[in-house]
A and B are shown apart, each in its own frame.
Chain A
Amino acid sequence: MSNNVFGASKITKFIAYLLLGLYTVVVAYPLLFILFTSLKTNKEFFTNLFGLPTDLQWVNYVNAWNIGKLGQYFGNSAIVTAVSVVVTCLVSLLGGYALAKLRIPHADTVMSAFMVFNFIPGIAIYISLYTMMSRMKLTGSLITMILPYIAWSIPFAMYIIKQYFETVPQELIESGRIDGCNEFQTFLHIMFPLVTPALATIVVFTFINNWGELMWANIATAASATIKTLPVGLLNFKTEMGVEWGQYTAGICMVTIPLMVIFAYFQKYFVAGLTNGAVKG
């Protein structure tokens, strides 16, 4: 959108830059403060609280990773997130395709049933889920987080896929069938390549939700420290490690930077997913 079309007056434009500039400072400053602090020694933190770091302490990241055990937590988070994203994509692709194209009776009702549960606050599920999972001997490993994360990501993911497949003309599927493909081959060779934008939307949403999830991870890892994820580890970092400001803020950056990278790649899919109007909050 170019600014001349809306043809605002000079004063309006000035106000626009002023307000956006001011708000940018409000948003960016705390983030920069954390980034700067993560590169200072504890001593410099107190003597030079607001300035740029004078001598970059990359060692904070190394120490947080090793001594602060954030490396272990990062690994756990990476496995949990990667597995849950991949499986969510697979399961929702199949399910969304079935609901859109395979003549399942009352497909829209089935979809709505998934979506209704998606709006239920997690805590109403967690209480029973934890006791259920411990009876099924599913607690104490990363599975405790992976399986529920997949489940809770399915409704939104399947909704996006279903909507997307509905725009694909039926003739394309028919052509595959006529050429002798079975249902799975039709899906794999004809439909799958068409659906990559929808997949990108799912990847970015599932990644962001699961990478930073706290409440369930907090419950699920309470009994076993070795499976803590990065958000849980950081929450307890100050109690466990004492006040190591540099390491602590380095940890905060470790959570945030992968998200920034993912987001930079998938920005337009993120907005597309939002306007589709169904996100678990």
Chain B
Amino acid sequence: MKQKSSMGKLDRKYMMAGFLFLLPAVVIYLIFAVIPFFDSFFLSFHEWNGFSARVFIGLDNYINALKDSTFRTAIRNSVYLGVVSSVISVVVGVLMAWMMLYVGNRWGAFFRTILFSPSMIPAVITALIFAFVYEPDIGILNNLLGALGLESLQTAWLTNRATALNCILFVSAWKQVGLTMVLCFAGMQGINLSLVESARLDGASDFQIFRKIILPLVMPFVQLSAIFALMSGLKIYDSVVALTNGGPAKSTTVMPLWILQNSFSFNKYGYGAAMSMIFVLIVLLGMILVKLIVRGDSYEQ
């Protein structure tokens, strides 16, 4: 143990070394994340085409954004994709994780690897893959419907207003389920088995064990997966660009896409920045709501 008198001096020495070690991370993060964010924040109160001087216009960009019907569609679509894809991925993911408890080890490893694989494929690639599913003539989906004698259901999935958004939703859920499954399965593996055994002795059915023991104990993992799914759903951009580019008639546009187009294609940088601040607020609000809805009290086992 160190002498008390030397503590202060040594502490300061370690602290200086610490600041030095931390410096690169802080500098890089400030330049490429923090400063641009605050610059966007200030930019959101200005009109700016990217070249001339910025003109301060107060809250005009925000007011225009709320009046912009395409932006409202974009908000609605992003929220829809976020909420519904997280509900689907949680329901299917938890179901698959539960089922995973009942298969043998070797089959379990096989299923787990396959089902998880979409989660690590980049979103743009999963969307390009699904372009082959939705393609009207050569696509897997229409051919499958044809083979089943359901020609009446065939449609041009991505250019039909009624189906385009849900096509994007399916890709996103398809990608997200594996992650939820792996997370919740990891949680289920941590469950104290004596709980299950004693319930079994008391004559509980498989469903009762799931409902009363497994599900409550994996709630923290469910909450975590729901947050992941909601975040990635709200931020969906890649699959929209790859599948519909916001069409038909902007009906599948999402917040990041509309913001990007306004900024970089229409040179309305201030307006884009204001919409991106609204986007930030919606994302933060979503996170808080998930935490409130899916209560994940952790149990000490």
Contacts and interface: CB of A to CB of B under 8 A. Distances in A.
B217 interface: no
Among B29, B118, B259, the one with the most A-chain Cβ atoms within 10 Å of its Cβ is B29
A17 B103 contact: yes
B15 interface: yes
The number of chain B residues touching the other chain, given as a range, is: 35 or more
A96 to B, nearest CB: 8
Given A123-B260, A151-B31, A263-B120, A281 B228 contact: yes
B28 A104 contact: no
- Main secondary structure on A side of the interface with B: helix
Given A123-B260, A131-B50, A20 B96 contact: yes
Interface stretch (A2-10, A51-59, A62-70, A193-201): A2-10
Nearest to A158: B25
Given A30-B133, A91-B24, A92-B25, A235 B128 contact: yes
B76 interface: no
A127 B273 contact: yes
A114 B128 contact: no
A183 B29 contact: no
Interface stretch (B64-72, B149-157, B159-167, B276-284): B276-284
B15 A20 contact: no
Contacts of A183: 14, 17, 21
A15 B34 CA distance: 50
Interface residues of A, number: 96
Interface in A202-257: 208, 211-215, 218-219, 222, 231, 234-235, 252, 255-256
Interface of B: 11, 14-15, 17-22, 24-26, 28-29, 31-37, 39-40, 43, 50, 92, 95-96, 99-105, 107-108, 111, 113-115, 117-118, 120-125, 128-130, 132-133, 138, 140, 143, 174, 177-179, 182-183, 186, 188-189, 193, 196-197, 200, 205-206, 209, 221, 224, 228, 231-232, 234-235, 237-238, 241-242, 255-256, 259-260, 263-264, 269, 272-273, 276-277, 279-280, 283-284, 287
Given A8-B206, A147-B31, A234-B128, 14 more contacts: A1-B188, A3-B103, A16-B100, A20-B107, A49-B143, A98-B17, A110-B22, A120-B37, A121-B235, A121-B256, A125-B40, A126-B36, A148-B32, A231-B238
